[in-house]
Structure 1
Amino acid sequence: MSPTALALDPAAQDLLFREAHTAHSFSDEPVTDEQVHAVYDLVKYAPTAYNQSPLRVTLLRTPEARGRLLPLLSEGNRAKTAEAPLTAILSVDLEFHQRLPELLPARPQLKDTVYADPDLRRAHGSFNATLQAGYFLLGVRAAGLAAGPMSGFDAEGVDKEFFGDGRQHALLVVNIGHPHADSYRPRNPRLPAEEAVTSL
């Protein structure tokens, strides 16, 4: 499919998708709060069910905070996390429904009806926060940064260490920074549209 079949400028397509890779190492150039806030302020407009917006982003900047996380990561993720300029824990706010009257004023009753059920709230919140995590990774790329998302960690341990009140549940750990020449591994194949897309 030609890049011209898309409304997005081809250079932006490359920045977000074709030329972007998961980063495994970074330069020592810092990532600022302003950059991260700009990323969030862009991706917050992407859809979630009932506009529930359950993603929360916890930035680990200090060596002390990073040191609390490292033992909870799989061994292969520790060194690159210790050296990354910024690490974020992406989590779901399991009490997201408390903000629904503000975020969805047309249906404020959802807070006390549908989402009064904590199991349903956890399932729906986790799904929608995971969607937002994907949007966040694209936002990092849009900022000219690289992301190294990792699922290899002790989620219960992270919850206990960083979210002791039980309100948040960790979904993804992401290293963020400016890539350098050896940040990336060779790209693996992807399925073609002819195999992944079906018309009925």
Structure 2
Amino acid sequence: MSNTLSADARALLFTEARTANLFTDKQVDLDLLRELYDLMKWGPTSMNSCPVRLCFLTTEEAKKRIMPALFDGNIARVQSAPIVAVLGHDMEFFEYLPKLFPHAPENKKIFENNETAAQINAFRNSTLQGAYFIIAARALGLDCGPMSGFDNARVDQEFFAGTHVKSNFLCTLGYSDASRNFDRGPRFEFEEVCQVL
């Protein structure tokens, strides 16, 4: 068994993958959402903190609830998507460290009285988990449209009220209408942004 991904797998995940702008009418099997999570959850986070929290909007009624929080440029994208995922982070993730990081449960104390450290850790690691989410979705044949461009406070009130969860970003899921994708944007070359010391 090879320890590297095939060229086809790399293309699926990275080199040929595109950000979905609009979607076809093909629906997503909701069983894929559990499969997606069960794949993405294995990606590493600091102290195995796993702060990401997910809210999947799968019905028209649920998607209508997020519309008032969207910036104008994202409304059509969300409307066309079979599923919209709200990716958030639990600001009290550290409460679960004794379970998730059992060989050093005392690390909970690092964050209990340090809101800044907790906020930085929650945001950083939920963003990492968001990247795993995108890769896992692509691995399962789904197209993704990750986006900012929304009022976080309104989303938090609508979907995470009464919790310690704050929204990070949104990600539409489905099967892309490739004809509606933007042209691929350029990327930096290695020499432009990398140092090898």
- TM-score normalised per structure 1: 0.93
CA distance in 2, matches of 1:192, 1:106: 41
1:182 to 176, 179, 184: 179
CA distance in 2, matches of 1:194, 1:74: 36
Q: Which moved more, 1:167-176 or 1:178-187?
A: 178-187
Q: CA deviation at 1:118?
A: 2.7
1:130 and 2:133 aligned: no
The one-letter amino acid paired with 1:152 is G
1:191 and 2:185 aligned: no
- TM-score normalised per structure 2: 0.94
Gaps of 5+ in 2: none
Contact preservation (8 Å) 2:86, 2:171? yes
Q: CA deviation at 1:94?
A: 1.2
Residue aligning to 2:24? 27
Contact preservation (8 Å) 2:20, 2:178? no
Superposed counterparts of 1:68-107, under 5 Å: 68-107=65-104
Q: CA deviation at 1:166?
A: 4.1
CA distance in 2, matches of 1:31, 1:102: 33
SS of structure 2 residue aligned to 1:16:
helix
- Give percent identity, aligned residues only: 38
CA RMSD of aligned residues (A): 1.3
The one-letter amino acid paired with 1:24 is N
Gaps of 5+ in 1: 1-5
CA distance in 2, matches of 1:39, 1:183: 25
Contact preservation (8 Å) 1:150, 1:172? yes
Q: CA deviation at 1:44?
A: 1.1
Q: CA deviation at 1:95?
A: 1.6
